[in-house]
Structure formats: C-alpha cells, structure tokens
Amino acid sequence: MKNIIIYLVIFSFIFSPGVGAQEENLAVIQSIYDNALSTDFAYKQLERLCKEAPGRLIGSPNSFKAVELMKEYLTEIGADTVFLQSFTSPAWIFNSASLSMIVDGKQVPLKVDALGPCGSTSKQGVSAEIIEVMSLDEVRELGKEKIEGKIVFYNRPMNTTYFNVFKAYSEAVDQRYWGPSLAQEYGALGSITRSANPNMDDFPHTGSCRMEGNKIPAVAISTNDAEKLSKALKSNPRLKVKIRVDAEDITTQSYNLIADLKGSEKPNEFIIVAGHLDAWHNTEGAHDDGVGCLQSTEVLRLFKEVGLNNKRSIRVILYMDEELYQSGGNAYVAYSKEQQVINYFAIESDAGGFSPRFFSVDAPDRILEKIKKYESFLKPYGIEEITAGGSGVDIGPMKELGVPLSGYRTDWQRYFDMHHSANDTFDQIHFREMQLGSGAMASLVYLIDTYNLADQE
C-alpha cells in the first residue's frame, strides 16, 4: 500500500507540471505588484511631464520637449536601447480662440476652445446669426437656404443614462468630428459644438474634426455655456455671435519615442507596450494619455527591477500624434515593414489612469482563448475579464501586419469629465489606481512572454 501511495505521488508530480508553474506565476505577479505599488518613479515623472510639457500637440514646442523628457527618463530606468523614429506629418498650431454673444450691442464672452485642425478667422473674427441643431441630419434637412451665411450650433448632449460612457461619447462625438465640415458644405461661416462632456461645468472639451480645403472656424463650447447660448437664442432667434480662431497648418518632422529591453531567447521578437505622448493644446494630458505613457515605461522598469528574464524584447513606444492625424501609428507600421520588425504582440493604455477592469483583445479566436486563460492570475488585482474588443488608435494599424492587439481598460466612468479639457491635470491621477494599471500591464506581458501564442510553438 505504501509503495502504491509513493507511486501515485510521483505520478502526480510528473504529469501535473502546471501546479508548480502556476505557483511560480502567482509569485512573480505578486512581486510585480509589490514593486509597482511601492515605487513612485513613474508617478513623479508623470507630474514632470504634465507640468513641464502640457499642450503637446504634434509640432508644438512642448511636443518636442516631451520627447526629450521621456527619452531621458527611459535611459535612467535602464532601457537597453532608446531611439527616436522620425516621420513627417501635417500639424496644426493653435494660438487662441474666442466666442461671444452679441447682446444689446455688447459682447458677452463664452467659454470655448478651438477644434483641430479647424480654420482661422481674421483678427476681427466672424459675426453672424446662429442656428441651433441637434443632429447632422437636421443640417441636411434645413439645407443650404437656411444654413448659408450662419454659424451652426450643434447642441445635442451626451446620453447620461448609458452605463458604458464610451457608448455615450461615440454617439455624441459625430457632431464634433463631422459637424464643422457638414456646416461648411452647406455654406456656414463657422461651427459651435457642445462639449462631449456628461456633466454641467465650465470646461470646454476640444478634439479633432474632419476638415479640408478652405476650412471654417470651429469651436467646442462648455456645457454650461451651451445651455446659456441656447436659452439666449430662444429669447432672440436673430441672436448673433462673434467667433475668432487663430491657428495655422504646417508640416513638421516629428518622432515616436522607442525604448527596448532586450530579450534573452528571441530578441528579434517584440512585445509592444504603448501610449501616446501628444495632448491637446488646452490640457496637461494627464489621463489622456500621459498616464498611459508612464504605465508603459513601468512595464520595462518592472521587468528589469524585479529581475524577470524576458524571452522576447519588451518595446515601449510612446507615439506622437494620436489626437490629430494618427501619423505616429502609421509611421511605425511603415518602419516595421522597412526594417522587417517582428511585432509579436501589442498592448496600449489609453483609457485613463483609473482602477483596472479588463483587457480587450483584437485577435483570432484561438489566440483570444489562450489569453483568456490568464484571467485567474489577474482577477485578484481587479482585472475582471479578458474579452474580445478593440485595442488602441496607435497600435491599431499593426492589425494589417497580423499582430495580436490588446487594450488596457479601466473604470472609466469619470474619463469624459476630463477628456480633452483643462480639467485633465496631474492632480486628477491617483497613485494606486495608476500603479494597479502598471502592474496589470506588466503581468499580462509577463504571461504573454512566458507562454507562446502561436499554435505551432
């Protein structure tokens, strides 16, 4: 009987290799979080980025300063290689914007910010009657006869009844992105768009709009002042406003910042961790996306400091120009093709620095199912699931290369309180929430690197 028991114990040990590996993985992940939650290097660097280089749209002086700040930091935390990947891109340089109601001959200023890359006005600005609409279709129905020579005011609010705040944003943002060009098509002299903000406050939220050719001025108005303007218009249907924008279109040489931690077994295969370094002209860009950049650098630092022996190279990419033309993401794909780079997997953090909730994966089902097996390791740290879904604007172009993609997702209920506004400041970042995200990304990368995704491996 004793021999049988010994045999069964030996048999169990030989044919259950996953038990030891599971315990090792749990210990490694614990060490990742222990370090992340007790080290404030990235948090302090995020403060420096936000305070010393706010408003870092592509082509702006602070966009170049941000690259230098983060290049220096990546060298300090021990990257094996740090380099700039250059590319040429259009850029939009913002100087100023204003909007006033003309009431009894006096100008009543309203809180606005220009949408990029809209057109400029003369120094005197443009004055015209406004016409309030709630949809793009309403503009089409009104037609050129009623739109021409006026300023179109898109005033549809976000639907705050949705649990998924990104769904509410996606339904509202069409008037910001397509509204100005549609107004221009029907002869409008300018465009005003209610900020994509679920709250009533005084922060205008800017963002991109699709405009080409002889562009008209376009601004986003704070939600409080959108209500004020709408009320004034109801009292006086012939109300006029004065809009002024000072900006210019240029072509610039810019850079993606890339740092590698060399792999021990397959150094020519790269696991990408990414965020975007650019931020709108009116913001420190803390949640969007300074925190994503520092969480990405933390993956590299954690691997090095915890002593993880990564098989593949960990590549941090801090992209430039996610906000306007997405030129950085496309430039890296072109670089990958030219240099025959093997991008094994890519993950992006661009959903704010809030508490972790899940990872979305854009990959074939067979790969998704493999990655989903890692859920049990991550659930104790707030990752509720790994599910099918999108990844990120910057890494998205790599899909054409067949790269499995992932997005780090947070408890994003407060994200659009700050998105693209002056309210997106460093003091809105919570250290533990940020570092739980850093730990989650580093842990997933560790598991991706440890277990092969390809069927043939």
**Mind listing the pLDDT tens digit for each residue in 283-292?**
999 999 999 9
Q: Is the pLDDT of residue 14 over 80?
A: no
Query: Residues 160-199: pLDDT tens digits?
Result: 999 999 999 999 999 999 999 999 999 999 999 999 999 9
Single pTM value for the model: 0.94
H/E run at residue 388: strand 385-388
CA–CA gap between residue 110 and residue 304 (Å, rounded): 50
Q: Is the pLDDT of residue 307 over 60?
A: yes
Closest of 232, 195, 245, 205 to residue 101, by C-alpha: 232
Q: Is the pLDDT of residue 454 over 80?
A: no
Region 137-144: mean pLDDT is 98
Domain limits of the chain?
A: 21-80+262-450, 96-247
The CATH class for the domain spanning 21-80+262-450 reads alpha beta
79 — pLDDT class (breaks 50, 70, 90):
very high
Q: Which residues of 195-230 are buried (b: 16+ CB within 10 A; e: fewer)?
A: bbbbeebebbbbbbbebeeebbbbbbbbbbbbebbe
The pLDDT of residue 145 is 96
CB 119, CB 215: distance < 8 Å: yes
Q: Is the pLDDT of residue 277 over 50?
A: yes
Residue with tokens 């022996």: 309
CB 210, CB 194: distance < 8 Å: no
CB 416, CB 20: distance < 8 Å: no
Just give the CATH number of 96-247. 3.50.30.30
Question: How many of the other CB atoms lie within 10 Å of CB of 277?
Answer: 30
Question: How many of the other CB atoms lie within 10 Å of CB of 346?
Answer: 27
Query: Residues 388-427: pLDDT tens digits?
Result: 999 999 999 999 999 999 999 999 999 999 999 999 999 9
Q: How much is the mean pLDDT over the chain?
A: 94
H/E run at residue 213: none
